């Protein structure tokens, strides 16, 4: 498998797995399967259903020149970037097996990330009124992980994007998540530590923390 996946490829896989889980539920099978996809994308901007095109601050010609893709999708939230050096996680879960509470689901995705970055001595925080995980200190608020989800018959789609060693210059081409406050910016694990952290290393930690938070079993 390639190291960096096209967004369309992984989106198609997500939708295929979601349909598979929904079909399993409709058939009355007890214990429908769940999946956790972790990957790095080729450079791409995605715009959620509540987002505004005004938050993309470059034109299509620039995107084409830089070979950066753009997709409008059905998750919640506004615009964000996915690309190399970032772990994008897509849990395909039947929340009927957990709880029927989207807000709790988002909080628990945040918890997975908070525990993951705590391994590196980074204190993650939640910011009231926003989803995702932030670093909050005297310097300001720096977003390290974006989250946006969608549900169909209580089966989840989309997920989280954790910046590990991401080229943060891409975020200058958008207004990330539509947030315009002066004291907000975007960061990564590598930037916070002032050293390069390997994506593969962080992926293994995420797997264990996801298992811990959701009681997930890998087969």
Tell me phi and psi for residue 145, to 5 degrees.
-150, 125
- Strand, helix or coil for residue 194: coil
Rg (CA), the chain: 17
From CA 149, how far away is CA 160, in angstroms rounded?
Answer: 8
Q: Which of 114, 135, 177, 199 is catalytic?
A: 177
**What's the full length of the chain, in residues?**
219
145 carries an active-site annotation: no
Contact in structure between 112 and 159 (CB atoms under 8 Å): no
Task: Supply the DSSP string of 111-152, one letter for each residue.
Answer: HHHHHHHHTTT---B--TT--SEEEEETTEEEEEEEEEEEEE
Active site residues: 177
């Amino acid at each position: 498998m390639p190291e960096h996946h096209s967004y369309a490829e992984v989106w198609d896989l997500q939708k295929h797995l979601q349909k598979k889980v929904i079909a399993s539920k409709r058939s009355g099978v007890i214990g429908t399967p769940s999946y956790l996809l972790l990957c790095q994308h080729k450079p791409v901007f995605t715009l959620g259903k509540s987002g505004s095109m005004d938050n993309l601050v470059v034109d299509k010609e620039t995107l084409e020149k830089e070979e950066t893709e753009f997709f409008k999708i059905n998750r919640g939230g506004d615009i964000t970037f996915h690309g190399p050096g970032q772990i994008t996680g897509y849990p395909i879960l039947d929340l009927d097996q957990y709880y029927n509470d989207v807000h709790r689901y988002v909080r628990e995705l945040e918890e997975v990330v908070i525990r993951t970055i705590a391994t590196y001595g980074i204190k993650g925080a939640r910011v009231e009124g926003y989803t995702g995980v932030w670093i909050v200190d005297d310097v300001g608020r720096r977003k390290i992980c974006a989250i946006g989800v969608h549900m169909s018959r209580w089966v989840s789609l989309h997920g989280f994007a954790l910046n590990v060693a991401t080229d943060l210059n891409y975020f200058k081409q958008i207004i990330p998540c539509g947030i315009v406050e002066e004291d907000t910016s975007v960061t990564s694990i590598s930037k916070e530590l002032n050293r390069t952290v390997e994506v593969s290393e962080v992926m293994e930690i995420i797997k264990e923390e996801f298992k811990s938070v959701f009681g997930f079993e890998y087969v």
